[in-house]
Structures are given as structure tokens and as C-alpha cells.
Copies of this chain bind each other. A is one copy, B any other.
Amino acid sequence: MKACILIVGDEILIGQIQDTNSGWIAQQLSDIGIHLVRALTVADEHADIVDGLNLAFQVADIVLMTGGLGPTKDDVTKLAIADFMGVEMYFDWSVYDRIKSMFKKLNRTLSPHHRNQCQMPQGVELLHNSMGTAPGMLFKKNGKYIISMPGVPFEMKAIMHDHVIPMLTALSDQKIFHFTILTARTGETIIENQISHIVESLPDHIKIAYLPSISAVKVRLSGTGSKTALLEQEVMFYAQQIMDTLGEIVYGVNGTTLQAELQKLCIQKQVKIATAESCTGGNIAARIVSVPGSSTYFNGSIVAYSNDIKQHILHVNPSILDTHGAVSEETVMAMVDGVIDLLQADVAVAVSGIAGPDGGTEDKPVGTIWLCVGTKTHKTTHLLTSGKFRDKNIEAATMYGLDMLRRFVKKM
């Protein structure tokens, strides 16, 4: 089954809004084995939408449309679909009643715009929208499908999850099974080399992809076949070999995050953590706090941006700062001790580095970052030599800090 995405939106063509719907829908289609052959964006114009539908029907069996269904520009997409399908519009009382009761709860009154939302092309099958007033729409013609959804991402996603993905999964003539192995702190090339013997042994219907980001690489296996259970077993056979080979750089699989894995370990081992951050400026703490429930194991953080604070709050010995400098192994080790005492944590991570663009020296160029993780009695340090870009240096140090915490707590 082949699909085409058709995005309706002036605001995307004039560069006002970045289209994120296409990328998300593409991922979902890939997950269920539907082959996306085109993605097209057109303006909120009748003729352009009809043009887009014609193109889509030439190359695909399924057209997934988003946009042009809000209360203010409600007509254009629906009228274009009606025109393309050769049908008239009708007033749908079930849509009207639903909007009316939603608005009653919110104490708002219906505008003429909302009455427009109840006009529907004949032959439509409505797809309930649990997140908004405009329902999704399904049309069938000559064995092909048009699915039209609102452009608001969370409304589109709700309709996709509730209706479209189950329907397309049933239609899909091939099954696909993805498994993603998440790694931190090792580059793509090194990973490729380490697992090349496994990759060479992969059968043709299992593909591998490397998705690198700063200080992290996702390794994804995708198997295609006709029987889900067998496919899953096959993919997992190779995935397990890859995970065994990569060892401790693997922090999780599929949709998790470093901070979510860290949470599991802290709760399991009943460990309280804290951070002492210089160049990361609170980014490690912010990442930890992004996980709901972090208050049970995260005590807090000291963002020690000045030497004064390193010395007076974290009690880094001034002789260490004088002799080795703020960006040194000795300083980050002392910062760990200081923050553990201050915030009554069991384990802490500390970071001090030169994020740039200024502040580098010959000895310690921009991108020199020292990290330390540990308890009062046992510590591990790491010297990260990142690049010249401030954003990337902060992100790299944040990822390293989180992963050093994860590995340390795991071994406790």
C-alpha cells in the first residue's frame, strides 16, 4: 500500500510555521509498513487542494491530509474534497450537537464559524476527534482512501492513534517491526565498526539505520515480513547480539530517555542524587526534573557559575582553584564532595568546562570540559574535549553528565 501526505497550509508555505505533521505521520506509516511515496504541501486554495488530490491519487492508494479544518478556514478543504469526489455538502447534526454540548460546558456561545464546521461532504465517514471540535474525515473512492485531519498536531495525533493507525495497520499488506537501541557517549563510526560482523550477517529483510545526535546514537533495526511474531523473534535475535556487543554504552531501548532510565535506577537502588554545574548551567538538573516524579530522588542542584560560589558554597579549596584552575579534574572532584554535603545526596555529578565561544587558552581550548560523578568515597572522572560551538558543548556535557550518573548508580 502506497501513501501520500497532503498538507494544506499557507502558514507553512510562507515560513510562519514549521510543518512537523509530515515527519510524525511519516514515522507512523513506516512503523506499520505503509510505503510513503510523496509528501506535498499546498496553499489553502480550492484549486491547489484539488490539484494536490489529483497528484496524490496518481501515485498512492491512501491520501493523508492535514490542515484547513479549523473554525476560521473550515470550508476550503472540505469543499475541495467534495469537488474532487463529485459530491454535495450536507449539514451534519451529530457534529453540531457535539460542538454545542462542548461549548455549553465551557460557557461559550457558538459562532457562525462553528456552524460551518458542521457542513460535510456527502459520503464522509466521521472520525471522532477527542481533542477538539473538528472531526477527522474518511472517504473511499475506487478502492482508494482520503483521510483528512485538522492541522493542530495534538488533534491530528489523537485521530491518527484512535482511528487511522488501526485502520491502516489492518490494510497494510506487510508487517514491519522496529527495534531501537539507544546509546550515549560513543560515535557512529566506532559503533559501526564494533557491530560490523553482526550487520554483515543480517538477512535482506532486516535493515539497520544509525541516527546520530550530540553524544548519542540510536541504532534501529527494521524487519519486514508477513508474520509479526516470527519477525519480532528474528529482529530481537540480532538486536540482542548488538546490545551484548555494545555493552554499557546502551542506556535503553525504543522510546525511553537517559533521564527516565536514571530515574528507574535511582528509585530501584534508593539513591538520592544532586548536581553541581558550572558550564552546563542547570541543564542536567532541568533534564532530570523533566521526568514526572523526580522529586523522590533528586535533591537539587548548585549552579556554581563563578569561582566564588565554587569556593564559598561548594567549599572547593581555593588552593585547588589556584593550582589547577576551575576547569580541572581536582575541581570537579571537590565540587562533587561539596554538593553531596550541602544537598545531603548520596551521589552527585559535577561539571566544569569552557563552553565558549571565548575563554579558551592554549592549554584548555574552548570545549575542554571536566566531569566527575561519585560518592564521598568513590569517584569517576572524565575529560570531554568537545568542539567550538557553545550550544553543542553544553548539550554534550549534559548528555555525558546524565550518562555518568546512570552508569554509576547502576553499579551501586
Q: Using a CB–CB distance below 8 Å, which chain A residues touch chain B?
A: 12-20, 22-31, 36-43, 48, 51, 55, 59, 209, 211, 220, 275, 277, 279-286, 288-290, 292-295, 298-306, 308-309, 313, 342-344, 355-359, 390-391, 394
In the complex, besides A55-B55, A290-B394, 16 extra interface pairs with C-beta distance below 8 angstroms are A13-B39, A14-B30, A19-B22, A38-B40, A40-B41, A280-B286, A282-B286, A282-B289, A285-B303, A286-B286, A292-B358, A293-B358, A295-B305, A300-B302, A300-B306, A313-B342
Which residues on the B side are within 8 Å of A281 (C-beta)? 282, 285-286, 288-290, 294, 298, 301
Closest 7 interchain pairs by CB? A281-B289, A282-B282, A15-B27, A282-B285, A15-B26, A301-B303, A18-B23
A289 to B303, CA, bound (A): 10
Q: Which chain B residue lies CB-closest to A24?
A: B15
Cross-chain pairs A/B with CB under 8 angstroms, 10 sampled: A15-B25, A16-B30, A17-B211, A18-B23, A37-B42, A40-B41, A279-B289, A281-B301, A282-B283, A300-B305
- Known contacts: A277-B282, A299-B305, A303-B303. The answer to whether A289 contacts B15 by CB under 8 A is no
Copies in the complex: 2
Task: Provide the bound-state CA to CA distance between A119 and B22, in Å.
Answer: 33
When the two chains form their complex, are residues B308 and A344 in contact, meaning their CB atoms are under 8 A apart?
A: yes
Cα separation A265 to B143 with both chains bound (whole Å): 64
Are A14 and B36 in touch, CB under 8 angstroms? Answer: yes
User: Once the chains are docked, how many angstroms separate the CA of A151 from the CA of B65?
Assistant: 25
What chain B residues lie within 8 Å of A280 (beta carbons)?
286, 289
Q: In the complex, what distance in Å separates the CA atom of A293 from the CA atom of B30?
A: 44
For the residues of A in contact with B, the DSSP-based class is mixed
CB of A44, distance to nearest CB on chain B (Å): 12
CA distance A25 to B27 in the complex (A): 23
The answer on a CB contact under 8 Å between B299 and A301 is: no
A282 to B274, CA, bound (A): 12
Kindly list chain B residues whose C-beta atoms are within 8 Å of the C-beta of A19.
22-23
CB pair B41 A15 closer than 8 Å: no
Residues of B near A308 (CB, < 8 A) are 299, 344
Residues of B within 8 A of A303 (CB): 275, 282, 285, 289, 300-303
Per the bound structure, the CA–CA distance linking A277 and B302 in Å amounts to 10
Contacts of A12 in B (CB 8 A): 23, 26, 39
In the complex, what residue of chain B is closest to A210 when comparing beta carbons?
B16
Chain B residues, CB < 8 A from A25 = 15
With beta carbons under 8 angstroms apart, the residue of B23, B27, B48, B302 that contacts A37 is B48
Cβ-closest chain B residue relative to A9: B39
Chain B CB within 10 A, most for which of A24, A31, A282, A357: A282
Cα distance A300–B40 in the bound complex, in angstroms: 48
Which residues of the other chain, B, contact A41 by a CB distance below 8 angstroms?
22, 38-40
Cβ of A302: which chain B residues have Cβ within 8 Å of it?
Answer: 300-303
Q: Is the CB of B15 within 8 A of A18?
A: no
A292 to B27, CA, bound (A): 36
Complex Cα distance, B303 from A294, in Å, reads 13
- The answer to whether A20 and B22 have CB atoms under 8 Å apart is no
Given contacts A13-B37, A286-B286, contact A309 B300 (CB under 8 A): yes
Contact B305 A309 (CB under 8 A): no
Closest chain B residue, CB of each to CB of A308: B344
In the complex, are the beta carbons of A343 and B309 less than 8 A apart?
yes
A18 touching B20, Cβ below 8 Å: yes
Give Cα distance in the complex from A304 to B282, angstroms.
12
